[in-house]
Amino acid sequence: MTKQRICIVGDGLSGLMTAVVLAKVPGIEVNLIAKKGTNNVDKRTTAISDTNYKFVNQNITSLGQKLFWPSKKIELFYETAKEKINFLNLHEANSNLMYVFENDKVKNVLLKEISKNKIKLIRKDLNNLDELKKNDLIILCIGGQSKIYNNITKIRSIKKDYKEIAITGYVKHNLKTLNTSQFFLKEGPLAILPFSKNYFSFVWSVKKYFFENNSKKITTLVKNKILEILKNKQEITISNIQSYPISLSIRRQYHQKNTLILGEGLHTIHPVAGQGFNLVLRDIKKLKEIVKYYAGLGISIKTSYALNDFYNSRKPENTIMSLGVDATHSFFKQNKYLDPFKEIIVKNIKNNETLKKFSKIISNQGLSL
């Protein structure tokens, strides 16, 4: 049987993961195109759910458990004028709620996996898609800003500029215990993500003007804020500080002919709930199922309903989850008129076991129940 060829453009985390996963489908040949001189060093961390961790582990066995730091407990705090209310604790005794990994280490393993699976890696600058038309399926994993998308999508996306900056980095510490935490602070949400015994990463989303006014002292500002919320008097060391603007973008058109958008080009959401890459992994999982189905029947992906099937199965969750994260962010933003009511609400959440159970299910499986 003649193999069908899939060409993936982009060697970020989404592109690499998609290439390795789809290469395992019988009857599929995968090529990966990346820009010349691409630097694969990505000093950030990513959190994924237990369900997505199992999917990744099943498809990329060489990753190994040591690259993923498990978390059985997640704590949420809301800052008021008087205190920081611990309003939601999610806990699992016999399983893990989530895993955190360092992007650069996982990407290096994926590149080795690509070489081992004989996936052809082509280093070239791609200006248009005409040279890829011989492929049965083209998958674009080239971030959210590429002009190439203009030739694919004619329907306007849902977009929102938060006018916020995400500050990320690593923290070395000597704390005996540290749980994964989300603090809804007056300046903006700050997440603590442990990824080894003595290291955690942070993501602090702040107003753009706040970042610009404090850009020259941002390391000191971050350090003091972390020491404050963790109530820690020990010395900590901060490294790998990066920043990037935050926006919401949800594509309403996923594909044209045999070209599909995937990754951040498909949906970019606020980092407050850590759901961005979880959505991408669920997209990849569904795409693999669909490609395997049509390839198994000997039907050409290029002329099939494969991409329509993908769109119909993934658009509802991607849209609802993205807008849900946006609503969560809006709810916790400081507002002097609504804050007294929000304080009452978050205090009542603490003892709501039904909400806790629902939160764990959604964060683990999304809406793919």
pLDDT at 40: 57
Query: Using 50, 70 and 90 to split pLDDT, how confident is the model at 39?
Result: low
Q: Are strands 199-207 and 158-172 parallel, antiparallel or unpaired?
A: antiparallel
Distance from C-alpha of 293 to C-alpha of 289, rounded to nearest angstrom: 6
Distance from C-alpha of 63 to C-alpha of 243, rounded to nearest angstrom: 28
Q: Is the pLDDT of residue 369 over 60?
A: no
190-241, pLDDT tens digit by residue?
999 999 999 999 999 999 999 999 999 999 999 999 999 998 878 899 999 9
Q: Determine the distance from the C-alpha atom of residue 113 to the mean position of all C-alpha atoms in its chain, rounded to a whole number.
A: 21
Geometric angle at alpha carbon 98, from 96 and 101, rounded to 5°: 120
Distance from C-alpha of 170 to C-alpha of 193, rounded to nearest angstrom: 9
CATH of the domain at 81: 3.50.50.60
52-70 burial code (b ≥16 CB/10 A, e <16): bbebbeebbeebeeebbbb
Long-range CB pairs of 118-121, under 8 A, 24+ apart, other chains included: 119/19, 119/20, 119/23, 119/30, 119/31, 119/32, 120/30, 120/31, 120/32, 121/11, 121/31, 121/32, 121/34
Distance from C-alpha of 48 to C-alpha of 42, rounded to nearest angstrom: 17
> pTM to 2 decimals?
0.95
Domain count across the chain: 1
Per the structure, the complete domain to which residue 171 belongs is given by: 4-365
Residues in the chain: 369
